[in-house]
Amino acid sequence: MYRILIVEDPPAEADVLRAHLSRYSGEKNLQFAVTVLGSALEFINSDHVADLVLMDIDMPGVNGMEAAEIMRTYDQTTPLIFVTNLAQYAVKGYAVDALDFVVKPVEYHDFAMRMDRAVRVMERNARHTLALPTADGVRVVPGSEIAYVDMLKHDVCYHLADGSVLRERGSLRAAEARLAGQGFLRISSGCLVNMGQVTRIGPASVTVCGGTELFYSRSQRKRALETLANYVGRSI
């Protein structure tokens, strides 16, 4: 199921988008969970996690473009489609990495073409991103930006390449399942390493970007070294 956020102030226009999404999901055999927010300010202050944002631009107070700029400070991944009759904003949309524009009044077939593209991006993101809690809400993180994952008591700690750490309740096994297929390797019972972030491979440990040294457990050492050797294409 994909979570879709509509940010649109006239209820009638939000209803049009909701109806188009319902028709599209039926035709494509997809499931959407749709939430409607009535203003850009409500969007900025919300903690909703979305796989796709459909955003009007011309809204009172904070407009959609300003809200998108704020969104991109903490989420560079979630696709954004502007729904607008303000064609002059098209160039500015590239600055916030908008996936597409839909011009009002929104015709279904035009909308469906944009959704085809959005679904491809959502499918790719579902395989390669995580939504992790922060003090301010939620941060969408590409798996490639996670250097390693370990445990602190009952919290899973995601150590990012920029040095920040995001935590959530859970188990390392669950984190490993979420990161499956993204190049993460278990090197001990309490640590997963992103092989793409490894800068040094030693006989007892690996070093990741930022200089953190992480040690293999005795039981995982042989398999870890073999996997790393295959990953980098050379023998250890």
User: In terms of domains, do 143 and 66 share one?
Assistant: no
CATH code for position 166: 2.40.50.1020
User: In terms of domains, do 217 and 100 share one?
Assistant: no
User: In terms of domains, do 92 and 167 share one?
Assistant: no
pLDDT tens per residue, range 38-91? 999 999 888 777 889 999 988 888 889 899 999 888 888 889 999 988 666 666
Amino acid 236: pLDDT = 43
User: In terms of domains, do 92 and 185 share one?
Assistant: no
H-helix or E-strand spanning residue 116: helix 108-128
User: In terms of domains, do 10 and 69 share one?
Assistant: yes
User: In terms of domains, do 125 and 146 share one?
Assistant: no
User: In terms of domains, do 61 and 139 share one?
Assistant: no
Amino acid 87: pLDDT = 64
Question: Which of 105, 131, 157 is the C-terminal boundary of a domain?
Answer: 131
> For residues 152 and 236, what is the distance between their CA atoms, to the nearest angstrom?
31
Laid out side by side, the sheet with 213-215 consists of 198-201, 205-208, 213-215
- Choice between 11 and 95, residue whose per-residue pLDDT is larger: 11
> For residues 205 and 58, what is the distance between their CA atoms, to the nearest angstrom?
54
User: In terms of domains, do 163 and 124 share one?
Assistant: no
> For residues 141 and 126, what is the distance between their CA atoms, to the nearest angstrom?
11
Cis geometry, peptide bond prior to residue 105 (ω within 30 degrees of 0) = yes
CATH code for position 71: 3.40.50.2300
pLDDT tens per residue, range 119-178? 999 888 777 788 888 877 788 888 888 999 999 999 999 999 889 999 999 999 999 988
Average pLDDT over the chain reads: 89
User: In terms of domains, do 184 and 127 share one?
Assistant: no
Query: Rounded to a whole number, what is the largest CA-CA distance in the chain?
Result: 64
Question: Which of 77, 100, 131 is the C-terminal boundary of a domain?
Answer: 131
Smallest CA-to-CA distance from 82 within 91, 93, 71 is with: 93
Question: Which of 81, 106, 131 is the C-terminal boundary of a domain?
Answer: 131
Give the count of domains, the chain. Answer: 2
Domain range for 228 is: 135-232
User: In terms of domains, do 52 and 76 share one?
Assistant: yes
Per the DSSP assignment, residues forming a β-bridge with 83 are 56, 102
Distances 216 to 64, 84, 147, 235 between C-alpha atoms, Å: 48, 54, 15, 17
User: In terms of domains, do 117 and 145 share one?
Assistant: no
User: In terms of domains, do 9 and 87 share one?
Assistant: yes
Answer whether 0.85 is exceeded by the pTM: no
